[in-house]
Structure 1
Amino acid sequence: MKKFFGGFVFAFNGIMYTFKTQLNFRVHCFVAVVLVALCFYLELSIAEWLWIIAAMAMVLIAELANTAIETLVDLVSPEYNIKAGLVKDVAAALVLIAALMALAIGILILLPKIFHAS
């Protein structure tokens, strides 16, 4: 059981490392907090909440994966290497696509509610 709970410590360390070292992760966390407040204000349905939560999780998971990939690439290829750069570019694209999909979900769910609430 101790080993099981130790895994949570390692996971938390990974989140904290990413939060401390990656500006984009901090920005996404801030946006998530603001978004949650907005969603409470707009009184989203359960289904809408599920989509918003999934979108936020998708972006944060993508940022964590990007950080892990970049850190590993820096470890195995400390000098400039074109293929290492491509790996980092693809990892960044992962985050970009997740963020664009989350934006689309947010627009589809929130814009009608914002205009209806006005």
Structure 2
Amino acid sequence: MPDSFLKGRMRSVGIALRGLVSLFRSEPNMQVHALAALLVTGLGFLAELSPVEWILQNLAIGLVIGLEAINTSIEELANKVESRQDPQIKRVKDYGAAAVVFAAVIALITGGLLYIPRALSLIS
């Protein structure tokens, strides 16, 4: 592989990481998602999740955080394109927000399927 290819990939990763840090610093919803991800990751270690359960949990976390990043991007771009209230742009923003809520509900269901049976077994 040419050296320039590797430098280009490293530069791309750096840009992506900078964007991720910016998202976590500036977006309250992303901070909530990050806190939830940290909590359920810690819970996963306590619950001794199986490899498949870890995969499911990580996919749910990634889905929510990834969609939140896309939704934030949509909102930023929409605000740049049109700063005034616009019904079409509002719909686009609402659709992005709906995608995040849908992913969060799926993540909650996944978490419930992983952790409720364990919690019930501790009670009985």
What count of residue pairs does the alignment treat as equivalent? 118
5+ residue gaps, structure 1, are none
Counterpart in the other structure of 2:34? 29
CA distance in 2 between counterparts of 1:103 and 1:61 reads 16
Partner secondary structure for residue 44 of structure 2: helix
Which of these residues, 78, 85, 92, is aligned with residue 83 of structure 2? Answer: 78
> Aligned runs of 1:12-91 on 2, under 5 Å?
12-91=17-96
Partner secondary structure for residue 12 of structure 2: helix
Query: What is the TM-score of this pair, normalised by structure 1?
Result: 0.95
5+ residue gaps, structure 2, are 1-5
Identity fraction in percent: 31
Q: Which runs of 4+ in 1 moved over 2 A?
A: none
Query: What is the TM-score of this pair, normalised by structure 2?
Result: 0.91
User: What are the Cα deviations for residues 74-115 of structure 1, in whole angstroms up to 9, with x where unaligned?
Assistant: 111112111111111000001000000000011011110122
Counterpart in the other structure of 2:114? 109
Select the structure of larger CA radius of gyration.
2
CA distance in 1 between counterparts of 2:83 and 2:8 reads 33
Higher RCO by CA contacts (8 Å cutoff, separation 6 or greater): 1
